Amino acid sequence: MGKGYWQDKRVIVTGGTGFLGAFVISKLREQGATDIFIPKSQEYDLTDHDAITHMLDEALSNGRGAENSLIIHLAANVGGIGANRDHPAEFFYDNLMMGVELMHQAWQRGIDKFVAIGTVCAYPKFTPVPFKEEDLWIGYPEETNAPYGLAKKMMLVQAQAYREQYGFNAIYLLPVNLYGPGDNFDLQTSHVIPALIRKTIESQDRGDNELAVWGDGSPTREFLYVEDAADAIVTAAEKYNGSEPVNLGSGYEISIKDLAEMIQRMTGFEGRLFWETDKPNGQPRRGMDVSRAKKYFGWQAQVQFEEGLRRTIEWFKENREIIKSKV
């Protein structure tokens, strides 16, 4: 990537203080970006028209207008199966309103480029594996996360419509499930990898004989290390200017059973895994076709899954007391 590209750019990164956001900010700085605006959620409610207007006023102040400016929209209200099941209305409304209003005002202001971050949950429940971007519309998403997935998917529709009518340069990226250091380890809202890491380590500490895991272990998932995801987003922000959605994934698919056993082995948990088959499995299979990212902007994942998992486990062990005090 060319450091010259970012030197004169003003970059607005929503969700910039979050899990993925911290890595995106780091990657932007590494690439030479110096003018980065990070709206904090406690200061700006991005579901609110006036708050977005105020945020953009602040971001585009200091004599710098909208020219040479980008928005990377990472902000989302997101969680695992349980959180999606408990808060479908919030997940739908918050994610839809954030995306629609932010992109609309970005176009109105003359922002140069909008990078919309979608989700693998946008894919239909029974998408053929590996998921290809052209299959996004062949069915309804998996029911437990459909409201969230569809809300984020509307940014794709909006991006394509605004490009067609207004010539607005909005791109849409579809990251698979992320994991890595700094992930959300709150058991009420976390995704499968941080939840399993925390549960196995805490079960081992207590000397438990078994650990209950949701579902039957049969679904498959693909995971992308968070630093790889940040690299993909920054690369696409610089190099990709097309209307087609692009998957961001590792190309490595693993069953939940194999994942749980790998985490059990890597954390040293000596009890047995007990599968709660009355709990939902979620989507049966998830694996991405990642060829488009390589073709369109020359990107592919670098971190091997077991290595990424090792780094994530180490990070949790080092930060577990801080995490416990927050949750």
Q: Write the CB contacts of 17 (distance below 8 Å, at least 6 apart in sequence).
A: 38, 40, 41
**Contacts for 23-30: CB closer than 8 Å, 24+ residues apart:** 23/180, 23/182, 23/226, 23/227, 23/229, 23/230, 24/72, 24/74, 24/230, 24/233, 24/234, 26/230, 27/227, 27/230, 27/231, 27/233, 27/234, 28/234
Are the C-beta atoms of residues 168 and 232 closer than 8 Å to each other? no
Radius of gyration of the chain (CA): 20
Phi, psi at residue 149, to the nearest 5°?
Answer: -60, -40
Q: Count the residues in the chain.
A: 327
The residues annotated as belonging to the active site are 148
What is the C-alpha separation between 48 and 97, in angstroms, rounded?
8
